[in-house]
Structure 1
Amino acid sequence: MFEQMTDALDFHGRALQLRASRQETISSNIANADTPNFKARDFDFSATLREANGMAPADSGMREALPAAEGGLPTVALARTHRGHRAMGMGAMHNGQPELKYVNPEQPSMDGNTVDLNRERAQFSQNAVGYEASLRFLNGRIRTMMTAIRGE
């Protein structure tokens, strides 16, 4: 029973850590929007959270699909026979931190900078809302546990 109470706290705690890390990454991208040859970076939050919590990829069965090749060819699925095998997607963790990938620019700039300020601002806002939601879930869970402890 104690495990059930702490599992939710652990999950939201990891989510907060990843949200904070992503906010730093996005902030760095925004701060370097005018830096020549700066390459924007990011990571897939949901895939990284699944991996940080020891969950299999979304399609379960520990299989990962590669992106479809041009020309509409069917995708190939790779089998991970052990949870310790390195993930192929954007959700890979490295030394407890999310592995950052370079962002492909929708419109390349002349100075080699790949930061799209509109995209980064939208991602920043979306991540901030997610951070606040995780805080509220965590707060609600703690409040519920405190009520149960007090016997109210």
Structure 2
Amino acid sequence: MSLFSHTIRMLEQGLDYASLRQKVIANNIANVDTPNYKARDVQFRTELDRAIGSFEAKRTNPKHLPFLHTTDQKFFVTTRGNLVYNHNGNNVDIDQEMSNLAENQIYYNALVEQLNGKLTELKTVIKGGK
């Protein structure tokens, strides 16, 4: 039995994802004028697989495929090499990167608020509801 019912662990993984994505986006913005630099991104599929990995599906037939548990996988960063926006071979779109940065910041802040709420609940329980 888990004390926190996996909620805090899931929020922690989400924060890890948002933190890595923030670093990757900042690196893309820093290299906006670097010749032949290819923009990078963090794969969301890994995070989705990690979240789904904690669920168990009921199999009504032995021929049904079970969910694959991928909780030990790490996030991975890929290079977007299929587009070239600038004459110098750079494919960083500053407008897209700034949009990604704002979106990621909102996501991170929402996760922090959720984590604060969980910790406040625990604090209330520890104090006996006072």
What TM-score does the superposition give when structure 2 sets the normalisation length?
Answer: 0.77
Tell me the equivalent position of 1:74. Answer: none
RMSD of equivalent CA atoms? 2.5
Give the drift of 1:51.
Answer: 2.7
Tell me the equivalent position of 1:65. Answer: none
The CA deviation string for residues 113-143 of structure 1, in whole angstroms up to 9 with x for no partner, is 0100000000001001111110000000010
Match for 1:52 among 34, 50, 70?
50
Distance 1:120 1:148 in 2: 42
Tell me the equivalent position of 2:102. Answer: 125
Tell me the equivalent position of 2:111. Answer: 134
Q: Check whether the contact 2:39–2:91 (CA below 8 A) recurs between aligned residues.
A: yes
The CA deviation string for residues 43-92 of structure 1, in whole angstroms up to 9 with x for no partner, is 233x2222334628xxx8xxxxxxxxxxxxxxxxxx898546xxxxxxxx
Q: What secondary structure, in the 3-state scheme, does the structure 1 residue paired with 2:4 have?
A: helix
> Residues 10 and 82 (structure 1 numbering): CA distance in 2 closer, same or farther, change over 3 Å?
closer
Identity within the alignment, %: 29
Distance 2:5 2:67 in 1: 29
Distance 1:129 1:20 in 2: 12
Q: Which runs of 5+ in 1 are unaligned?
A: 61-78, 85-92
Instruction: Write 1 or 2 for the structure with the bigger share of strand.
Output: 1
Q: What secondary structure, in the 3-state scheme, does the structure 1 residue paired with 2:35 have?
A: coil
Q: Which amino acid letter does the alignment assign opposite residue 135 of structure 1?
A: V
Give the drift of 1:102.
Answer: 2.1
Tell me the equivalent position of 1:35. Answer: 34
Tell me the equivalent position of 1:114. Answer: 91
Q: What secondary structure, in the 3-state scheme, does the structure 2 residue paired with 1:101 have?
A: strand
Q: Which amino acid letter does the alignment assign opposite residue 48 of structure 1?
A: T
**Alignment coverage as a number of residue pairs:** 117
